[in-house]
């Protein structure tokens, strides 16, 4: 379904994409100007802006801004706060384009504000039906931009295009049927003239997919199912018809390598989550990373982190792209700290497994074999009476962004050394209804488990440092060329650590729970640090 | 209170005999395999779908269909989980209680698990002990030095004003016999050594990445920065000494504590 609000307008705006426009100088953001494909590819060259969900296509969540350093971060002061009206989990990473900031709000709204003052230009409110079935809140994590158009997922599983200057709806495409419990929460990713987007619903027996829409028209360009159909040999990794309700959603934004022209996207858990008896086999391509041709959606390679996942360990993490020295060779690598407690390094050109080591407590695998496949310990599957396994279903880490700092060679992430009792139960699939096949419990209070910001040596997988968090963190991480790591704790602290050694440098109690990842930008030549906590977006800068 | 028994005993007693004799599963008591929190939730869902029209939304008995109160901890037609399973599966002859024939064994067991959690809402008069005698024990043993009921007593242990709403009789028995068996982190002790070597100790009011908050022995609220400490020790045992009680005294004290609840 395509609802055309203003076909003529978009035609004019996007005709001949990429639009040619000069990137503004770093110290003079100038006025909002179209975000061309060239600007997106070279987003790292304009660090005063934050042009896509992960900052750049490499998704390192690293910024070359260096006004705020480990030496002066203690002088950070609050510049402004934007209060989100709807009370829910605020998961947004705002975009910043030439002094204008685009903040998504729960449930499926977006505002444009002045990045210097936080004051409003416009708000777009997406109408939603009242029969939504959402596993995990009315969330939205952000928009994508191309030219002068924003692209946003909505909770009713639509993709909308919005005029970045006015907030006017340009088109509205149904991606999937929300009555079948598909939903959409993640920021899309623009690749060339297409908008790439995924779906959520892995707890409802959906069949996951990744879509590409024509940025101009909103028409579907290609769809790649994350569970291959019966005409594909990998369909045999699902017993019987279980592939039809096998989940493998795609609810987080992927990455892109312009040189290799490959798109990378993680996939979620197979369904039902905890009863693998009804879906025997490896269940490809659940809990995997897929490498796709962004023009056609053709699968180039895949790597499955957790074959036959029966613990709900979605591979919904950020594919971090970096070039590493491994065994004396420079490798085009992908760094992946997985929910299953293993840190992986893959060759992002071929999918070859290069390295894998635990980064958090795990009791389910003896290790990984030479191809990166886990060697299971006995008696680790969910059971009637409950099987104790680490990590917990929420994972040793989760979807919150890690950050890779090429200056230190460290990957920073939130880590949790938890465990859970995994229960298997019978569950009949009913369209649109929750489909879990069991559940989990933590055997002890959360205060008994270790949570940390952990720094992993990207080349070796060794833990470089560990900063303990009490009670725990559910925030992503930002790192900068100023030698700082920023993150937050569930009880409302926003804090800065030394990127080299993990020592605390500064903290402030904001009181709200973080569900997002910090970011940074500059406006009027001044660096700002942005964090979303509770239902508010906070902008910090150095005291004048 | 025994109103279920009074209401239905005459009509239903023969039905139980028939079931007891007639079911092949009766010979053995099968432990309920589905007793986790997720099973309680699943059982509650099934209860809402299948049982509320007769037993009421709060399971305290239906108005129109006259279903019995299921919150007393006692059931007219069954004492064991297996017995409850059978009643739910097969129903009770000559009553409005029809069996759930189409639901899976797992679902029936989950319903049993859910029903068992409702026993916490039973009244203290169903328990063997004497609440008044229990009150005397509570006073004589000095429980009020640390615990408070209705504003009278100390703050160095959990407030017991509504403890009967929060803990089942069996949980209370465990709490009394082995106070350190399952200590909520709120009642851990933090032993804090400061940079200057001095010591602070108290109940764990709050603890986070950068700060510590305790209540000391004099009920003072104190807050510290972790930066100013050299070590922090968590003591996860309860500060309550084990109670030395005879079985009868234990029953009495449990009955008293269980009667301490929000007026209905």
DSSP string, A409-451: TEEEEEEEE--EEEEE------TTS---SEEEE-SS-GGGSEE
Q: What is the pLDDT of residue A406?
A: 98
Cα–Cα–Cα angle for A164, A519, A98, rounded to 5 degrees: 35
SS3 A182: coil
Dihedral sign computed on CA atoms, order A42, A44, A50, A54:
positive
What whole-number distance in Å separates Cα of residue A225 and Cα of residue A206?
11
Q: From CA A274, how far away is CA A255, in angstroms rounded? A: 29
Of A452, A447, A470, residue with least CA distance to A402: A452
Per-residue b or e along A190-223, where b marks 16 or more CB atoms closer than 10 Å to that residue's CB: bbbbbbbbbbbbbbbbbbbbbbbbebbbbeebbe
Set A116, A211, A309, A312: catalytic member: A312
- Alpha helices (H) along B23-104: 37-50, 52-55, 81-90
- Kindly tell me the burial class for residue A422, based on how many C-beta atoms sit within 10 Å of its own C-beta (0-12, 13-18, 19 or more): buried
State the pLDDT at residue B8. 33
Contact flag B208-A495 (C-beta cutoff 8 Å): no
Q: Do B34 and A438 touch (CB under 8 A)?
A: no
Query: Cα–Cα distance between A167 and A121 in angstroms, integer?
Result: 9
For A527, residues 6+ apart whose C-beta sits below 8 A from its C-beta are A65, A66, A67, A68, A482, A520, A521, A541, A542
First to last CA, chain B: 14
Cα distance from B70 to chain A (closest Cα, Å)? Answer: 26
Q: Specify the pLDDT at position A153.
A: 97
Cis amide linkage into residue A495, ω under 30° from 0: no
Question: So what's the pLDDT on residue A6?
Answer: 41
The verdict on pTM exceeding 0.80 is yes
Residues paired with A169 in a beta bridge: A162
Q: Is A498 a catalytic residue?
A: no
Is-contact A435 A242, C-beta < 8 A?
A: no
B184 and A445: CB-CB below 8 Å?
yes
Report mean pLDDT in 10-residue bins for chain B, 264 residues: 32 34 50 91 89 82 74 84 93 87 92 86 69 96 95 95 88 91 93 97 94 94 94 96 90 94 74
For the beta carbon of residue B209, count every other beta carbon within 10 angstroms: 22
Q: Contact, A292 vs A300, CB < 8 A?
A: yes
Measure the CA–CA gap between B192 and B184, rounded to whole angstroms: 19
B207/A439 Cβ within 8 A: no
- Using the structure block, give the residue that is written with the tokens 């269940």: A283
Tokens of B115: 């029903």
Nearest neighbour of A439 by CB, restricted to B38, B184, B207:
B38
Measured in angstroms, the CA of A247 and the nearest CA of chain B are apart by 21
Q: Choose the closest CB to A445 out of B42, B106, B185.
A: B185
Sign of CA dihedral A376, A381, A387, A390: positive
Report residue A274: phi and psi, to 5°.
-115, 5
d(CA A520, CA A515): 17
B234 min Cα distance to partner chain A (Å): 10
Supply the pLDDT for residue B182: 85
Nearest CA in chain A to B227: A504
**Size of the A and B interface in Cβ pairs below 8 Å:** 49
Q: What is the DSSP letter of A151?
A: E
CA dist., res. A257 & res. A249, Å (int): 22
Q: In the predicted model, what is the mean pLDDT of chain B?
A: 84
The pLDDT of residue B21 is: 33
pLDDT, mean of each 10-residue run, chain A (544 residues): 43 38 49 97 98 98 98 98 91 97 96 96 94 83 98 97 96 95 96 97 95 98 98 97 97 98 98 97 98 98 98 98 94 98 98 98 98 98 96 96 98 97 93 92 90 97 97 94 97 97 98 95 97 96 92
CB atoms within 10 A of CB B103: 16
What is the separation, in whole angstroms, between the first and last Cα of chain A? 52
Residue B38: list chain A partners with CB under 8 A: 423, 425, 438-441
Contact criterion met (CB below 8 Å) for A161 and A149: yes
Chain A positions touching B104 (Cβ under 8 A) are 426
Give the pair of three-digit tokens for residue A44.
């790292």
Strand ranges (E), A369-516: 374-376, 387-389, 403-405, 410-417, 420-424, 438-441, 450-457, 463-469, 478-480, 484-488, 493-498, 504-509
Q: How far is CA B91 from CA A49, A137, A165, A496, B36, in A?
A: 68, 40, 66, 63, 25
What is the rounded CA–CA span in Å between residue A164 and residue A145?
Answer: 8
Q: Searching chain A, which residue's CA lies closest to the CA of residue B38?
A: A439
Mutate one of A274, A414, A444, A447 to test the B interface: name it (highest B CB count within 10 A). Answer: A447
Are A439 and B41 inside 8 Å of each other by CB? Answer: yes
Q: What are phi and psi of B71, to 5 degrees?
A: -105, 10
In a 13 Å sphere around the CA of A439, the CA atoms on its Cβ side amount to 14
- A191, A296 contact by CB (below 8 A): no
The verdict on B106 touching A (C-beta cutoff 8 Å) is yes
Write down the ipTM of this complex.
Answer: 0.78
Query: In whole angstroms, what is the distance from residue A153 CA to residue B201 CA?
Result: 51
Q: Do A426 and B185 touch (CB under 8 A)?
A: no
Residue A268 is classified by DSSP as -
Nearest by CB to A441, from B38, B42, B208: name it. Answer: B38
């Amino acid at each position: 379904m395509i609802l055309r609000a203003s076909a003529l307008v978009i035609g004019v705006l996007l005709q001949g994409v990429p639009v040619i426009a000069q990137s503004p100088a770093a110290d003079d953001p100038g006025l909002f100007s179209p975000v061309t494909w060239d600007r997106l590819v070279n987003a790292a060259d304009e660090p005063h802006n934050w042009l896509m969900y992960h900052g750049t296509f490499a998704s390192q969540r690293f910024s070359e801004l260096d006004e705020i350093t480990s030496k002066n971060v203690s002088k950070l002061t609050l510049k402004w706060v934007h209060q989100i009206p709807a009370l829910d989990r605020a998961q947004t990473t705002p975009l910043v384009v030439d002094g204008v900031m685009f903040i998504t709000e729960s449930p499926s709204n977006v505002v444009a504000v002045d990045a210097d003052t936080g004051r409003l230009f416009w708000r777009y409110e997406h109408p939603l039906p009242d029969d939504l079935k959402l596993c995990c809140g009315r969330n939205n994590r952000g928009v994508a931009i191309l030219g002068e158009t924003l692209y946003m997922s909505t909770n009713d599983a639509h993709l909308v295009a919005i005029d970045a200057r006015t907030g006017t709806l340009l088109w509205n495409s149904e991606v999937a049927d929300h009555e079948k419990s598909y939903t959409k929460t993640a920021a899309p990713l623009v690749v060339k003239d297409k908008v790439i987007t995924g779906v959520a619903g892995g707890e409802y027996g959906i069949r996951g997919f990744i879509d590409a829409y024509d940025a101009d028209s909103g028409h579907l360009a290609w769809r790649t199912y994350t569970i291959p159909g019966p005409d594909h040999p990998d369909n045999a990794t699902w017993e019987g018809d279980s592939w039809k309700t096998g989940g493998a959603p795609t609810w987080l934004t992927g990455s892109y390598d312009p040189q290799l022209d490959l798109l990378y996207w993680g996939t979620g858990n197979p369904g039902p989550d905890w009863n693998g008896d009804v879906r025997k086999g490896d269940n490809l391509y659940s809990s995997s990373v897929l490498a796709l041709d962004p023009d056609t959606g053709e699968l180039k390679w895949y790597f499955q982190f957790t074959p036959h996942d029966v613990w709900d360990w979605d591979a919904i993490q950020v594919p971090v792209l970096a070039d590493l020295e491994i065994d004396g060779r420079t490798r085009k690598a992908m760094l992946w700290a997985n929910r299953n407690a293993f840190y992986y390094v893959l060759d992002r050109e071929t999918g070859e497994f290069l390295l894998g080591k635990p980064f958090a407590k795990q009791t389910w695998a003896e290790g990984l074999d030479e191809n990166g496949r886990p060697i299971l310990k006995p008696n680790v599957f969910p059971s009637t009476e409950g099987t104790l396994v680490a990590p917990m279903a929420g994972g040793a880490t989760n979807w919150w962004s890690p950050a890779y700092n090429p200056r230190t060679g460290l990957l920073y992430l939130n880590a949790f050394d938890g465990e859970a009792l995994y229960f298997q139960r019978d569950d009949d699939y009913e369209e649109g209804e929750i489909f879990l096949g069991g559940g989990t419990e933590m055997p002890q209070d959360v205060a008994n488990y270790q949570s940390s910001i952990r720094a992993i040596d990207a080349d070796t997988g060794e833990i470089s440092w560990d900063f303990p968090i009490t009670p725990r963190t559910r925030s992503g991480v930002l790192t900068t060329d100023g030698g700082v790591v920023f993150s937050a704790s569930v009880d409302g602290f926003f804090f800065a650590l030394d990127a080299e050694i993990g020592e605390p440098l500064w903290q402030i109690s904001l009181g709200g729970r973080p569900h997002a990842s910090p970011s940074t930008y500059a406006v009027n030549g001044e660096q700002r640090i942005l964090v979303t906590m509770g239902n508010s977006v906070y902008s910090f800068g150095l005291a004048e | 209170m025994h109103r279920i028994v009074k209401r239905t005993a005459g009509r239903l007693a023969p039905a139980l005999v028939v079931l007891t004799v007639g079911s092949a599963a009766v010979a053995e008591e099968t432990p309920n395999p589905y007793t986790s929190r997720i099973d309680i939730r699943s059982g509650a869902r099934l209860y809402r779908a299948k049982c509320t029209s007769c037993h009421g939304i709060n399971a305290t008995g239906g108005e129109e269909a006259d279903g019995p109160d299921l919150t007393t901890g006692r059931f007219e037609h069954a004492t064991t989980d297996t017995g409850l399973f059978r009643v739910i599966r097969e129903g009770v002859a000559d009553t409005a209680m029809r069996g759930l024939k189409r639901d899976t064994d797992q679902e029936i067991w989950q319903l049993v698990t859910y029903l068992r959690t409702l026993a916490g809402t039973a009244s203290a008069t169903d328990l063997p002990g004497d609440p008044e005698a229990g009150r005397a024990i509570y006073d004589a043993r000095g429980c009020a030095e640390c615990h408070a009921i209705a504003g009278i007593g100390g703050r160095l242990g959990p407030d017991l004003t509504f403890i009967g709403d929060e803990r089942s009789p069996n949980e209370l028995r465990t709490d009394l016999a082995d106070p350190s068996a399952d200590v909520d982190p709120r009642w851990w002790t933090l032993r804090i050594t400061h940079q200057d070597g001095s010591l602070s100790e108290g109940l764990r009011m709050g603890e986070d990445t950068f700060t510590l908050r305790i209540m000391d022995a004099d009920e003072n609220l104190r807050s510290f920065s972790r930066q100013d400490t050299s070590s922090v020790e968590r003591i996860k045992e309860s500060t309550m000494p084990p109670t030395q009680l005879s079985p009868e005294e234990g029953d009495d004290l449990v009955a008293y504590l269980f009667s301490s609840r929000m007026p209905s």
